[in-house]
Structure 1
Amino acid sequence: MAARLIAWLPHWLVRKRVESGELVRVMRQMSSHVSEVWAVWPEGPHLPTCVRSAIDALAGALPKVASPL
């Protein structure tokens, strides 16, 4: 028997699984909301390349997957 859990997750994270039927949306009367995403890094004269790359990747990818319900 499959486990039955309830979780409140961002739509962009579970959208494909909801569309495939793997996950089921419950409490449909609850309205969705937009949440902000923040990237925080220490202040300094040089931002490591890997950190800059990660920020750029998130900034480019999140708007594409963060569509409303």
Structure 2
Amino acid sequence: MERASRPDLSGAAWRKSSYSNQEGGDCVEVADGIPGVVPVRDSKRPDGPALVFPAGSWATFIDELKLGA
């Protein structure tokens, strides 16, 4: 299997999940506007690593969360 190249996230516009608490803990951030993928990171470590998911897989994950699966 060929490994996909990582997108450049240096200019990504990150936003916190609406389910993250406002006290600064348990925060997940996602970046929008990166074609075909959804980068995800821990807001407490903005300079740390980000996971990059295929957009379709992320959409399925979110749909399942909304269903309470």
TM-score, structure 1 as length reference: 0.24
Higher relative contact order (Cα pairs below 8 Å, separated by 6+ residues): 1
Q: If each structure's strand is expressed as a fraction of its own residues, which one has the higher value?
A: 2
TM-score, structure 2 as length reference: 0.24
Q: If each structure's helix is expressed as a fraction of its own residues, which one has the higher value?
A: 1
